[in-house]
Chains A and B, each alone.
Chain A
């Protein structure tokens, strides 16, 4: 298939996954900010969202003081912010428009409807009814798109590039959410077994749809290290880093054909570190450093994918 088509589809799925995860991140932060323990720490709650997106300066210049409302507006509805939910959906739709012949009609319709509806939405419409409804809506639209893709798309390379984009982006996003919240909730080294704020950690689990999974996997009270284990190393947890990289690795094997490709090697390396990693070692070595290292390697893989499949400027 055309490199341009592969690139458009890869980014199309990344944009949609990013929109969904931004909604999840905003949602968990919003929930936490409502808890009594957090009421006086608005800035502390919301600032990391901007820091991790490298947009704290731009935000300060345009919005001034940090508040929940202003960060939600900036990350949800601001067309001038290229990583806002609104901008991600618009970019995904634009890519889909360019590749209408490569995707199913239903996929196009689902995306187009999402885009059109979002264009008519304003932050203030939600502010009074509760902004949670908006986050739920974004997640639902993303679920719909993924479901329609799964249910209607021909299983060709186009489909596989969409899958790679989805899981690469999701792994990246789960790592970011965990990184921000883990260190917010657990600033000091602590003794294992010490009770933690059930509501705060529960909100983190819910933000990645992992609350029930946690209960099923551990049958125990909420424990930070186990949460990290679930979100990083659990092969059955569909938003965990390992799960995402199982998908990435398998899909690349399908896409790779007979030629050995560097991206497959890189993906294998990351996958192995997750598959055979141990949470106590990871935490002992510093969770932040681990997650940061993961993000760097994941980005390197994305760049290699571009070289292996999407630019192919050299003649063999």
Chain B
């Protein structure tokens, strides 16, 4: 699964004090976990081992795999699944839900403004350069009206927790966030493994996600026909998230198409079928902007649909997510999100932003260079944890080398403090022990803006590790939201 890496490293505190989501400091169990813990304590260890094995077998059978690229081609792997759920109570979830909806509403308003009147630039809240020099900015979209003014129809907000009510957003993913198929499959597996746990408390269901997604996609159709044609556009079966594309298309009952299945004629997008051409109204695309239209963007792309940009501009097809949404989700723009929320909604941000120093600014640069050993430094457009300096973990030589790189183009870097990620009980060889986690809820926008209750919890399975990436020993958990 291609996901960006969480900025998450140990603090320099000799005795790290991480927030434990299940155990209070006095050893008691927090309310959210009480029922589940009672149940688990009664299950002998051997039986838990059996359940873990059963879960692995189920995932293998369903075929939820991701591709790992290596020498001599790619192989299909399973992401490790942990049978202990991450549980949030109603109050905790309310905070996350409100915060995510607020953020995505503000970001969609921001994108509409950027591609129209640019009030926020005129007001000087966001510097013009941040937009115009941003490679994700699409001048082609200037002045183009999108259905319901939605740019990011599916958004993934990456969140970490460091205290009882301290949730921090690490980043916003407004382009083509993946991973939601795991949310649905994880729940299926958990309901098989622990039916009693679901009987004893009200866990908010997530299974209607595809239904809600389809509903929102239909709501942004440019035509007023009651049955718009919606398709899911995939780069194809060699893409690492192909199984998710297949899964979602099947669940929604829509065609899974590749670029070559679509074409543009008479100002419309059409799909080649055995019954002849069929008009397409909404394209839920899982291909990056750059590859979507060889006539407008990368000319060498074989994945896209030549001419589709012109149809979008004419308002005859809707793309989800829209072109140019990425201008609002890079690491430098991230630092402006609290201002963006205040500007468009006039509200106080519900979720915290991690303090961010933009190294293009002299004062910030000076501070960061002095405190390099305490901070995490990232490239503005980097992802997947590449090209990143983790100050506390780096050697002096590494820091010096990074400093030279940074000074070459300081505007391309940001720095953040290290965060103490919370832990969740996790099944390990030694029994159930705390491991660090993050959370990605999925926000849908269209007719309304809403979040499915839960999301993808990623867990660093190795003891002490703060890296939750699946490529580096990370796994996933089901996320339960208790309805009361």
Q: Which residues of A contact B (CB under 8 A)?
A: 1-4, 6, 97-98, 100-101, 157, 161, 255, 257, 309-316
Contacts and interface: CB of A to CB of B under 8 A. Distances in A.
Given A2-B255, A315-B265, A101 B272 contact: no
Contacts of A311: 272
Given A2-B261, A4-B260, A101-B249, A315 B274 contact: no
Contacts, number: 47
Contact of A257 (B250, B257, B258, B275): B275
A41 to B, nearest CB: 45
A310 B246 contact: no
B270 A1 contact: no
Interface of B: 237, 246, 249-250, 255-258, 260-261, 263, 265-266, 270-277
Nearest to A108: B63
B274 A1 contact: yes
Contacts of A309: 274
B256 A312 contact: no
A255 B274 contact: yes
B352 to A, nearest CB: 42
A305 to B, nearest CB: 10
Contacts of B266: 315
Contact of A2 (B237, B263, B272): B272
A37 B275 CA distance: 55
A102 to B, nearest CB: 10
Contacts of B246: 100-101
A3 B255 CA distance: 11
A47 B106 CA distance: 74
Given A100-B246, A101-B250, A6 B274 contact: yes
A2 B257 contact: yes
Contacts of A255: 274
Nearest to A316: B276
Nearest to B271: A2
B274 A310 contact: yes
A28 B118 CA distance: 78
Interface centre among B258, B265, B272, B277 (most CB of A within 10 A): B272
A2 B273 contact: yes
Nearest to B231: A2
Nearest to B265: A315
A316 B278 CA distance: 10
B273 A1 contact: yes
5 contacts: A1-B274, A3-B272, A4-B272, A161-B274, A312-B276
B238 to A, nearest CB: 10
Nearest to B247: A101
A316 B277 contact: yes
Contacts of A257: 275
Given A3-B261, A4-B258, A312 B249 contact: no
Nearest to A98: B237
Contacts of B263: 313
A2 B250 CA distance: 14
Contacts of A1: 273-274
Contacts of B276: 312, 315-316
Contacts of A314: 277
B265 A312 contact: no
Interface centre among B237, B274, B277 (most CB of A within 10 A): B274
Nearest to B276: A312
A100 B247 CA distance: 11
Nearest to B260: A4
B316 to A, nearest CB: 15
A148 B123 CA distance: 67
B272 A313 contact: yes
B61 to A, nearest CB: 9
Given A3-B272, A4-B261, A312 B277 contact: yes
5 smallest A-B Cβ distances: which pairs?
A3-B272, A309-B274, A6-B274, A312-B276, A312-B272
Given A257-B275, A312-B272, A315-B265, 19 more contacts: A1-B273, A1-B274, A2-B255, A2-B257, A3-B261, A4-B258, A97-B237, A98-B237, A101-B249, A101-B250, A157-B274, A255-B274, A310-B274, A311-B272, A312-B274, A312-B276, A312-B277, A315-B270, A315-B276
A302 to B, nearest CB: 15
Given A2-B272, A4-B261, A101-B246, A315 B255 contact: no
A273 B237 CA distance: 43
Contacts of A313: 263, 272
